[in-house]
Structure 1
Amino acid sequence: MTVTIYHNPACGTSRNTLAMIRNAGIEPTVVEYLKNPPSRAELEAMIAAAGLTVRQAIREKGTPFAELGLGDPSRSDEELLDAMLEHPILINRPFVVAPLGTRLCRPSEVVLDILPDTHKGPFSKEDGEAVLDAGGKRIV
């Protein structure tokens, strides 16, 4: 199974998502999107496949969102995409693309919706929140 995660190693949610993928016995393709952002076509496809609007896929916290005036509702999707490509930190994360679907994995356990049920035992997030029990079954 080919799984790709658009990952920011500085983000706890992204690290937890990556760890859950690996707990399922899958070694994903890891794209550090701040260094290697997706193309416009890839970004548009991920957003559409995840069932999101461009505005739902943009990150506000810790980004130039406000200073660029991206909260203005008159800004078009094209303008938002332009900003996301120019400033990849505006791309919310982590996006995961798998044969079972594409998701913006916030919270991180959303990734479980698109992974096979092959988890190798318990899993807890970095903050200690249990997500999978000893049998690899979802708790949350």
Structure 2
Amino acid sequence: MDATIFHNPACGTSRNTLALIRHAGIEPTVIEYLRDPPLRGQLSAMIAAAGIGVRDALRRKGTPYDALGLDDPALTDDQLLDAMLAHPVLINRPFVVTDSGTRLCRPSEVVLEILPPLTQPFTKEDGEVVGATG
């Protein structure tokens, strides 16, 4: 299975998601999106494929979201995408794309929806065990 993760190594959710993918026996393509942001069409396609709206793909915490006035309901999806591309930290993470689908993996175990079933349980950084139970 092919997999790509739009990853931020400083984010625990992103680290757990990457580790879950590897635990499933898949070595994904890792794109550190803060250094190498997706193109507009790619970002728009990922959001649509994940079945969420552009606003749902916005990260608020630790970003210029408030300073940019992105809570204004009059802003269009195109305007929000422009902001995300100008400030990649606004892109919520991690997005994962596999042969089985695309997800915004918050929480990290959402990635299990688009991976083969785990044969062994996985322990997240905080000690929570997810995946196979036996």
Normalised to the residue count of structure 2, the TM-score between the two structures is 0.97
User: Is the CA contact (8 Å cut-off) linking 1:25 and 1:120 kept in structure 2?
Assistant: no
Deviation at 1:86, TM superposition (A): 0.3
What is the alpha-carbon distance in structure 2 between the residues aligned to residue 89 and residue 21 of structure 1?
A: 23
Shift, 1:134, TM fit: 5.7
Report the counterpart of residue 94 of structure 1 in structure 2: 94
Look up the match of 2:18: 18
Aligned match of 1:84: 84
> Post-superposition shift, 1:122?
2.2
Counterpart Cα distance in 1 of 2:21 and 2:36: 21
Shift of 1:80: 0.4
Q: Counterpart in 2 of 1:70? A: 70
Name 1:127's counterpart in structure 2. 126
Distance 1:96 1:21, change over 3 A: same
Aligned identity (percent) is 69
Q: Does residue 6 in structure 1 map to residue 6 in structure 2?
A: yes
Superposition misfits of 4+ residues, deviation over 6 angstroms: none
Distance apart, 1:133 and its partner CA: 4.2
Is 1:30 the counterpart of 2:26 in the alignment? no
- Once the two structures are TM-superposed, the CA of residue 26 in structure 1 deviates from its matched residue by 0.1
**Structure 2 CA distance, aligned partners of 1:70 and 1:99?**
33
- Please report how far the alpha carbon of residue 120 of structure 1 lies from its aligned counterpart in structure 2 after TM superposition: 4.8
Matched AA of 2:123: S
Q: Which residue identity is paired with 1:131?
A: V
Once residues 78 and 121 of structure 2 are traced to their aligned partners in structure 1, the CA distance between those partners, rounded to angstroms, is: 42
- Paired position in structure 2 for 1:52: 52
- Match of residue 43 from structure 1: 43
Aligned-residue offset at 1:113: 0.2
Give the alignment's TM-score, normalised by structure 1: 0.93
Task: Give the structure 2 partner of residue 110 of structure 1.
Answer: 110
Q: What secondary structure sits across from 1:97 in the alignment?
A: strand
**By how many angstroms is 1:121 displaced?**
1.8
Quote the Cα distance in structure 1 between the aligned partners of 2:12 and 2:111. 14
Contact 2:119-2:132 within 8 A present in 1 as well: no
Counterpart-to-counterpart distance in 1, 2:125 and 2:71: 31
SS at match of 1:78: helix
